[in-house]
Structure 1
Amino acid sequence: MHRIAVLWVEPVVGFDAAIAPTLFGAATGADGNPLYEVVTCGLARGPVATTNGYAMVPAAGPEALATADTVVIPGTRYAPARVHGELDADLAAALATIRPGTRIVSICTGAFVLAAAGLLDGRPATTHWRFADDLRALRPDVVLDENVLFVDDGDLLTSAGLAAGIDLCLHIIRRDHGAAVVNEVARQCVVPPWREGGQAQFIERQVLADPHGHMSTAATRQWALDHLDEPLSIEQLARHAQMSARTFCRRFRDETGQSPGGWVRARRVERARELLETHDLPVDEVARRAGLGSGANLRHHLRRGLGMSPSSYRKVFQGS
């Protein structure tokens, strides 16, 4: 039987800690027998503090890692990895007992532990979008993509924040045993066997400060926001800012990190998202008001940027 060790690194995120035992524990074969042996473990056998105000007692100590076929590290606020990109001696020693070829999985900020161990260098990975910049700063060699729910890189798999750990565990069960088994697990746990989209639809974007004062493009950006449903060419925007097109484009990129055209497209998609969240307008009307022209164009941009159709997006955020 495939043996899974779930390592709770203190303080472990309580929600994350339960995902792997629950999902893998629900996977059974046609004969009704379990397909996985799941054991929870800590760096010691005593209670492990969670980030949620309670402690949990693992079934085993770190010795469980040496016999595991898969090791799962749930989200954690373990400071050495989260703040300094390092491991203390006990955790480093425990991870060193994992056999070569063992499948290693992280959920949410568990990726910081894998990164601190050097396991993610040069590898594609993800983590919770809110902490992606922190991980990127600590370990720039990680090929980080915070816009996906999970990354499967063969023997190394990482998930985004919190509930994305469910998506990853279901993906692993599907990869191991096929659709019939994972569909039954999903029914048992009352979750969808496959979820549309990535993290991008949940990321809050912040407006950057204007470094150029009165020579800033800020006023023109605000004007553009008020006229998204109209044609907005670079020439029009530059005239409004009273700059040449070349100067405007250079200053715009300095202030926003984007080209004027890319920024306008992104704002139009955001406007469409706001309309989908708050109104029951037809998709074509949403596209027109957002300046995206047609429903087909809106569908294209949502699929490309968020991995969701307009109807799926509306269902998620309106609950209907």
Structure 2
Amino acid sequence: MTSFSAKSHFQPKQVVFVVYPDIVLLDLSGPLQVFSHAMDQAARDNGYSCAVTSHHGGMVDTNTVVPIATEPMSTYADRPIHTLVIVGGDGAYTMMKDAAFLEDFNALAGRAQRVCSVCSGALILAAAGILNGRRAVTHWEDCKALADGFPDVRVEMDPIYIKDDHVWTSAGITAGMDMALAIVAEDLGRTAALKMARSMVTPMARSGGQSQFSPVLVRQVTDAAGRFEDLHQWIADNLALPLHVDALAEQMNMTPRTFARAYSSQMGITPAKAVEAIRTDAARDYLETTDFGIKQIAALCGFNDEERMRRAFIRLLNVPPTDYRQGFKTPDAD
């Protein structure tokens, strides 16, 4: 009986990217880099074979000075596709109205085991009917357009990426890399994904449940007029204090009741929840950049005990502090 090695039986999984004029280059290049170099450890070979296509092929302009060489989408009309990825960019708003493009894209999607979007590529998935009745995410700037234009799509503004059955959607720009790494982990195992993440010097810990917003950005956007900007900085500078509502109200020269009402109305959360978020953000910095123990970090950030900090991390980041540190600690932290 003839013996065959694992490598001789191995067939890389076909990933087909679909682009169009005015894509965001990083929406393509980030996930493409992940899939192009992810290794199947058992076969000791590339786990994926990648192709970049456009409707009619040829050179396609991006939102940078670098154009992309593409094959026609029709090249893969009769070939098996493991993962189909539509990338994002301002051009999505044009292509989502192009009936001929959507028809040909839908034909490819029907052949694919997995269909994905990066950033505003979700608008094209929605226009093709692929997101009907599904949870989906896109770049936060495009969430309103997705929700308003496609009421059958259950749009979520916060997650980095969402998997709904065989359909994956991701938030903006680098979130496409997070999604690609999660797909590699699902296909080839967590070890392969971690190796790829280390090679790209990017963390592996950003799960789909993690927010695409930084806490600072959320506060700045919500408090556009800067009414509580100085208060937020004072909180960050005094985390070891109790920081009860009375102390916060005193900083704003307001009565506790008036302050609590005004803050909750403006920011959409209670002062206590805001303090917890700022403490958690500070703890994240310590976990990423120092070797301080969890107990020490909890004390520095005003949590007082490790369990209280752990509960805050799970509530806000969907991951305990120890796992967060494993995924995000910088190599030169000391």
Which bracket does the TM-score occupy, shorter chain normalised? 0.7 to 0.9
- SS of corresponding position for 2:218: coil
Contact conserved, 2:223 with 2:229, CA < 8 A, in 1? no
- SS of corresponding position for 1:200: coil
Which among 62, 79, 100 is matched to residue 50 of structure 1? 62
Q: Which runs of 5+ in 2 are unaligned?
A: 1-10
TM-score normalised by structure 2 residue count: 0.71
Which runs of structure 2 are paired with 1:119-268 in the superposition (5 Å)? 119-129=130-140, 131-132=142-143, 135-136=146-147, 138-139=149-150, 141-176=152-187, 178-179=188-189, 183-184=191-192, 187=195, 190-191=199-200, 195-198=204-207, 199-200=210-211, 203=214, 204-207=217-220, 208-209=222-223, 227-234=238-245, 237=248, 241-243=253-255, 245=257, 247-268=258-279
For 1:154 and 1:244, locate their aligned partners in 2 and report how far apart those are by CA, in whole Å: 48
For 2:292 and 2:41, locate their aligned partners in 1 and report how far apart those are by CA, in whole Å: 46
User: How far is 1:42 from its partner?
Assistant: 0.5
Identify, as 1 or 2, the structure richer in strand: 2
Q: Amino acid of the residue matched to residue 106 of structure 2? A: A
For 1:281 and 1:86, locate their aligned partners in 2 and report how far apart those are by CA, in whole Å: 50
Name the CA shift for 1:237/1:317 in 2 (closer, same or farther; >3 Å). Answer: farther
Q: CA RMSD in A?
A: 4.1
2:329 pairs with 1:315: yes
Q: Amino acid of the residue matched to residue 123 of structure 2? A: F
Q: Amino acid of the residue matched to residue 197 of structure 1? A: R
User: How far is 1:50 from its partner?
Assistant: 1.7
Structure-2 residue corresponding to 1:75: 88
Structure-1 residue corresponding to 2:6: none
Q: Which runs of 5+ in 1 are unaligned?
A: none
Q: Give aligned-pair identity as a percent.
A: 25
- SS of corresponding position for 2:16: strand
2:73 pairs with 1:61: yes
User: How far is 1:104 from its partner?
Assistant: 1.1
TM-score normalised by structure 1 residue count: 0.74
Contact conserved, 1:183 with 1:193, CA < 8 A, in 2? no
